[in-house]
Structure 1
Amino acid sequence: MATTAHRPATRAGSGALELGASLMALAGLAFIGYAVMFFIRNFTAGFLELGIGPTEVDVGRAKIRAFSPDLYEYISHLHLAVSGFMASTGLATAALAWFGVRHGLWWAYVTAVAVPVLAVAVALPAHYPYGLATLGHLGLIYLATIVFVVGALVALKPMLKARRRT
């Protein structure tokens, strides 16, 4: 006997479900886009993350490298690792939304919500005590998160409605 966790909540193509899942997937793709920018900046003059400038960090690529080549390489490796985790979070979110939520699968919805929530819950708070929560730095993530939350809420209504029918 199928459980509600594996049974589609509603038929694919339901307007609100389709819209919500599409917004969730779009936000996942935006996370990938941000990760790509993060990755590229590691190899360019910008070096530091998007939206982080002299106000937040008073040295750049050349001064960090001159001060300590090992520290420079360590920061670079962190940039690459973080961009990889951001991209994988975006890919997981987009795939779960597009291939699972869009078809009304509860397990996909719960996982698609949990993945970016965990990432944001871990990463975001560290920005505030160090003065790194600038709009230039986090604005695109805030925007993608808003799009994601709207999509998750839009998709939730038909998912709950179908669950009550089962």
Structure 2
Amino acid sequence: MTTSTRLSTERALHVGGSLMALAGVAFIGYAVIFFVRNFSGAFLELGIGQAEAGATREQVEAFSPELYEYISHLHLAVAGFIAAAGLATAALSWYGVRRGLPWAYATAVATPVLGLAVALPAHYPYDLDTLGHLGLVYLATAVFVVGAGIALPAFLRTRS
């Protein structure tokens, strides 16, 4: 490997891994919003209103306090798992991808891909795919994909 190729590889790993880590931190931020909204008067997720849910927080609580508590617990659980996936993605990207560790790259990519592959399709059949709801996720995902795309050639170069 020539000096310029080595520097190019190191730069790609640094920039790509940094963008991937930034996206992981953005996922954590989204989880914090999710968590906070559960305890605010909003109750419903970011970008989801009465038009999408068919009822307000007060109507759900009046209909069934148990259902209200169940939905609340789901919001908290989802927030926790989004934050955990974001933390894993950020740490793997910052400490592993930037150092050129292929297993860290594979795991950092697989973590959000698995979460998004399960979560995103569930939004579309029920018209829950509003830009207000998924816009921040789309933005973080775009940053992540750009970072992963920048880092990937560096991993492919080291294999050949």
Q: Shorter-chain TM-score: what band?
A: over 0.9
Report the counterpart of residue 46 of structure 2 in structure 1: 50
Moved more, 34-43 or 49-58: 49-58
Aligned partner (choices 48, 71, 74) of residue 75 of structure 1: 71
Report the counterpart of residue 7 of structure 1 in structure 2: none
Looking at structure 2, the residues matched to 46 and 19 of structure 1 have their Cα atoms a distance apart, in angstroms, of 37
- 1:42-121 matches, within 5 Å, as 42-121=38-117
Gaps of at least 5 residues in structure 1 are 1-9
Looking at structure 1, the residues matched to 129 and 67 of structure 2 have their Cα atoms a distance apart, in angstroms, of 23
Report the counterpart of residue 6 of structure 1 in structure 2: none
Give the AA of the match of 1:49.
E
Please state how far the C-alpha of 1:103 moved relative to its aligned partner.
0.2
Aligned partner (choices 139, 151, 158) of residue 154 of structure 2: 158
Report the counterpart of residue 34 of structure 2 in structure 1: 38
Please state how far the C-alpha of 1:54 moved relative to its aligned partner.
2.1
Moved more, 58-67 or 78-87: 58-67
TM-score in terms of structure 2 length: 0.93
Please state how far the C-alpha of 1:62 moved relative to its aligned partner.
1.1
Moved more, 34-43 or 48-57: 48-57
- 1:142-153 matches, within 5 Å, as 142-153=138-149
Give the AA of the match of 1:117.
V
Gaps of at least 5 residues in structure 2 are 1-5
Q: Is residue 2:13 matched to residue 1:17?
A: yes
* 1:35-83 deviation line (CA, Å, top 9, x unaligned): 0000000000110000001221121211111110000000000000000
Q: Is residue 2:133 matched to residue 1:137?
A: yes
Looking at structure 2, the residues matched to 98 and 57 of structure 1 have their Cα atoms a distance apart, in angstroms, of 38
SS in 2 for 1:48: coil
Overall identity of the aligned pairs, in %: 68
How many residue pairs get matched? Answer: 154
Looking at structure 2, the residues matched to 48 and 150 of structure 1 have their Cα atoms a distance apart, in angstroms, of 31
Looking at structure 2, the residues matched to 60 and 151 of structure 1 have their Cα atoms a distance apart, in angstroms, of 39
* 1:113-150 deviation line (CA, Å, top 9, x unaligned): 00000000001100000000010000000000000000
Give the AA of the match of 1:81.
A
